[in-house]
Amino acid sequence: MAAPESGDGNNGAARMVTLISSDNTRFEVEAAAASLSQTLQLTILDGGGGGGDGIPLPNVDSATLSKVLEYCIKHAPAAANGGAPNATAVDRAELERFDNEFVNIDQSVLYSLIMAAHNLEIEGLQSLVAKKVADMIKGKSPMEIRRTLGFPDPTPEEQAEMNAHMLEYGWAYE
Amino acid sequence: MAADRLSDLPEDLLRRILYFAPAKEGASTAVLSRRWRFLWQTSGAVNLDSRSYDRTYGASLDNGPKHEAFLQGAMAALRAVAANGPVKRLSLHIESVNIYSISRFVFYRDDESETDHESETDTDQNLISKVMSNPAARSVEELHIAELLEDWSGASFPLLNSLLLHGCHVVFKDLQSMIHGAPHLTTVRLESINILHHWNDSASGNHGCTICGPEVTSLVLTDWSGYGLDEIDSIALDMPKLEYFRYEWFQSCQVSMKSQVWNMTQADLHFKDTMYDEDKLRVTFWHFLRNFGNTKVLKLKLDCPIDELAITDMKRLDELLDNKLLFNLERLEIEGCYNRAGNNVAGIAVANLLHCCPIVHDLWLRIKAKRREVLYNDHDIARKTKLDFDRSVENFKRLRGISGGNDDI
């Protein structure tokens, strides 16, 4: 029996901004969530992104952007860090669960995501995806790593170079 | 720019991925292609994981060749990364279900070559000490140690800013000197740890300890298994810049703040005692609360029925709180249970808590009846304990327009 939403406590609705993906889809999102991106934060602080304007993101397609925003919306309260008067307490265990579930996706999506997080400078998301990709090679042999990461089998020339390298760094290949 | 394949990513991002990869597997990516040849070496991280050796040597840790390979690999990895710049991240993960095999792995010695040495060489034989005292590790800014149920001597990391110990035994003195020797340390996570005393401290009867972290802003302190500290009765935290504090512990060990904390924004406190000498529990609890005078958000989780915290005599409550209230607290969350036959005592406890928080305007309660796994509607509790509760609610409504939390009150 939740109490009716009483807005933001202080002065009503939160500020919204519009982001436009490379394929021209418009996403309306709270400024606080979009500000997880260091790149967007500057534009937003300057008053951009409001009303009909929107911030174009020519490097991010709509599928990736919606995934990025899903992350930002979930993490925005934690990033606010009690600074706002009505900051909701953050349930860190819940965030961890969300993160684990969030990166449980196809490799190609992971790569688009880390690229977008890099372009938009979203620190937490970059680390989250990097850790996930690093986990994919854990405990694997060099050949298994090659296949997991989608590298073609080496040419004979490459193989010879590799053998030389492996002699030098034997500890990594036993 | 979309990236569907790993090879579409710029080198910075590939390095970032390798920053989290175990050293052995990371190093072996050098043969993926020419582009990858030097990527791992320039990642700035050495993550050592005993599981990297399971494929070749089997999962058991009680294994000399595995110990040797791990040690050689660790030294080679430190050397290779340090040759390309400072090692910024060092992590150690030694995994086993059997703590005795971890000990044998860490202290593995070849019996034949050791017969003419006395036990003096213990530290020299400690795998962890060897890794951590490697000169290449002096530059480490981020140290993670997981599942290390074995004493390890502290090393010094003067540039450390983030320390995570998970599921480890740690000798208090080593922990203290590690934190003390790291003036830039801002994040400390001591999760599921067991803090031990050095034997000659226990002998001298000195069972209290202080952890001093002048720059620490975030601290997590959660206890190991269920017994808290075996030998330590109290921990004083001297961390004046603390902003976030998560604490999960048994109150048989008292934790207190040695210095005034001005900037605390959130404290998550989970008290795990389920049965205790009641009055001592009460006293410890209310004393502990005094530490959070400036906190904005307080989340309380109690494993004992909240009834046990109730103080009927307001004068005594003020004494226990030393007349200090949580003057900055804006949001209070309480999760726990109450005794069904408790005659409204739970309500008194909630009222006591509200009494401490004069300006709170977000209140979230989830207090269910003990034993029965029915989650009671919070209104039931309010009804049961109407008098005390309503009086307090009235009080803070008067002080501040109530805005309603995201749950019932």
A131: tokens are 């850790």
Per-residue pLDDT of chain A (174 residues; tens, 9 = 90+): 333 333 334 445 678 999 999 999 999 999 999 999 999 998 888 877 776 688 999 999 999 999 999 999 999 887 765 433 334 445 777 888 999 999 999 999 999 999 999 999 999 999 999 999 999 999 999 889 999 998 888 888 888 888 888 877 788 877
Q: CA-CA distances (angstroms) from residue B115 to B104, B127, B129? A: 17, 19, 22
Q: Are A1 and B407 in contact (CB under 8 A)?
A: no
Pairing of strands B89-93, B45-49: parallel
The answer to whether the CB atoms of A138 and B21 lie below 8 A apart is yes
CB A107, CB A63: distance < 8 Å: no
Q: What residue segments make up the domains of chain A, in order of their start?
A: 16-81+88-138, 139-174
Buried b (16+ CB within 10 A) or exposed e, B125-159: ebbbbbbbbbebbbbbbbbbbbbbbbbbbbbebee
Task: Point out the residue among A9, A139, A151 whose CB comes nearest to the CB of B55.
Answer: A139
Test A115 with B69 for CB contact under 8 angstroms: no
Is A88 in Cβ contact with B3 (below 8 Å)? no
pLDDT at B102 over 60: yes
Reported ipTM: the value is 0.86
Q: Is B299 on the interface with A (CB under 8 A)?
A: yes
What's the pLDDT band for B200 if we cut at 50, 70, 90? low
Sequence-separated contacts (24+) of A165-169 with Cβ below 8 Å? A165/B30, A165/B31, A165/B37, A166/B31, A169/B27, A169/B28, A169/B30, A169/B76, A169/B80
- Distance, in Å, from the CA atom of B339 to the CA atom of B379, rounded to the nearest integer, reads 16
pLDDT tens digit sequence for B269-279: 988 876 656 67
Which residues of chain B from 16 to 55 reach within 8 Å of chain A, CB to CB? 16-34, 37, 49, 51-52, 54-55
Structure tokens at B70: 């791990």
User: How far is A167 from chain B, CA to nearest CA, in Å?
Assistant: 11
Assign domain A16-81+88-138 one CATH number from 3.30.710.10, 3.20.190.10, 3.40.440.10, 2.60.120.10: 3.30.710.10
Which one, of B205, B181, B211, lies nearest residue B193 by Cα? Answer: B211
Tens digits of residue pLDDT in B287-335:
888 888 889 999 999 888 888 888 888 899 988 888 888 888 999 999 9
CA distance A53 to chain B (A): 23
Name the residue in chain A with its Cα closest to that of B334.
A89
- CB-CB neighbors (< 8 A) of A3 in chain B: 404-409
Reduce the DSSP state of residue B223 to 3 states and report it.
Answer: strand
| A165: nearest CB among B23, B31, B266 | B31
Mutation for testing the B interface, residue in A23, A64, A99, A133 having most B CBs under 10 Å: A133
* Nearest-CA distance B32 → chain A (Å): 6
Percentage of residues in chain B having pLDDT higher than 90: 27
How many other CB atoms sit within 10 Å of the CB of residue B186?
Answer: 17
Q: Are B267 and B245 in contact (CB under 8 A)?
A: yes
